[in-house]
Chain A
């Protein structure tokens, strides 16, 4: 059997996905050299979207920035100048950008009834928050114990992806609370 992936179907459906700005006609006509794709992280339901954007428009237009929103490169505190064009900004194809009103996020993690706080930049990946939580600065878990735990948003069953950004989970306030909970071994 010869496996195949219907890339045309995938492309068309990608364009239908919310947040992707191209229309079907634009997709057919677009010169790939004139566009780049960006992973855009922000505090919305899906937390991450991939956008294909024209390099000649401003970063603010490309990201549909609302009043008060700013943009940073992933895992950095480097704020992006959103007034320049995408090509002038040197944003890389398939790079990661974080959009938020919050510059920093007060992060509380609770483990075995003890809570600890740390402030992270909004564009920090959840992977880094977890590393802090299990480190000596957090709850000092052994490497073996650490692999058997996961961060879970307090009061929910949502366990963020390691690639998610901490800022994607803020709502009214620039803060997020997690539990450090064990992964369950299925039994029965």
Chain B
């Protein structure tokens, strides 16, 4: 086990992560390194699942922050765009399947995401509290952002219209 993986496993064994599990905020679906899958609960909406799964890339964790994309657990593949969470305001901005940081991957359009922040040199000044800081952050900080968005009044469900 390399030091990055060891650190991740220590973080998910901490009270902070386990408290979120106990509260039903998130659950570890798959702990493979460096691509664990973690499902985050969502507020009840007419057309939406009770949780969304996210496929992480934790390469160089925690020196580099996490990146993730919505994932289909059943097919073990990226989630179809029509099934991504959506809404207004920050929810619409962060869960944007039309945006890709590079040709190979999707990511969440938010400052704590490693791939997203790489192309936005102004974000550290705009929102310093959301910039990944390995000295004081762990995977829970990233999960908190997702959980907050999926429980926001701005979250309306999935992109596919009924």
A contact set with B: CB distance below 8 Å: 1, 3-6, 9-10, 13-14, 16-17, 19, 39-40, 46-50, 94, 143-144, 147-148, 152, 157-159, 161, 163, 181, 183-188
Contacts and interface: CB of A to CB of B under 8 A. Distances in A.
A186 B123 contact: yes
11 contacts: A14-B13, A17-B10, A39-B18, A49-B14, A147-B153, A147-B154, A157-B129, A161-B16, A161-B140, A184-B130, A186-B93
Nearest to A20: B13
Contacts of A94: 22
Contact of A3 (B30, B127, B152): B30
B91 to A, nearest CB: 10
A186 B152 CA distance: 16
Could you say which of B29, B93, B129 has the most chain A C-beta atoms within 10 Å of its C-beta? B129
A23 to B, nearest CB: 15
Contacts of B136: 158
Given A147-B152, A186-B123, A10 B13 contact: yes
Contacts of B81: none
B117 to A, nearest CB: 9
Interface of chain A, helix or strand or loop or mixed?
Answer: loop
B116 to A, nearest CB: 7
Interface of B: 6, 9-10, 12-16, 18-20, 22-23, 28-31, 37, 73, 76, 89-90, 93-94, 109-111, 116, 120, 122-123, 126-131, 133, 136, 140, 144, 148, 152-154
Contacts of B109: 186
Contact of B31 (A10, A47, A147): A10
Nearest to A9: B9
B110 A152 contact: no
Given A16-B10, A161-B16, A161-B144, A143 B153 contact: yes
Contacts of B22: 39, 94
Could you say which of A4, A13, A188 has the most chain B C-beta atoms within 10 Å of its C-beta? A13
A50 B31 contact: no
Contact of B129 (A4, A152, A163): A152
A82 B122 CA distance: 51
Contact of A13 (B9, B73, B89): B9
> Which 7 residue pairs of A and B lie closest in terms of their CB atoms, listed nearest first?
A14-B13, A184-B127, A157-B129, A3-B30, A50-B15, A1-B76, A48-B15
A10 B119 CA distance: 35
Nearest to A163: B19
A161 B122 CA distance: 26
A40 B127 CA distance: 31
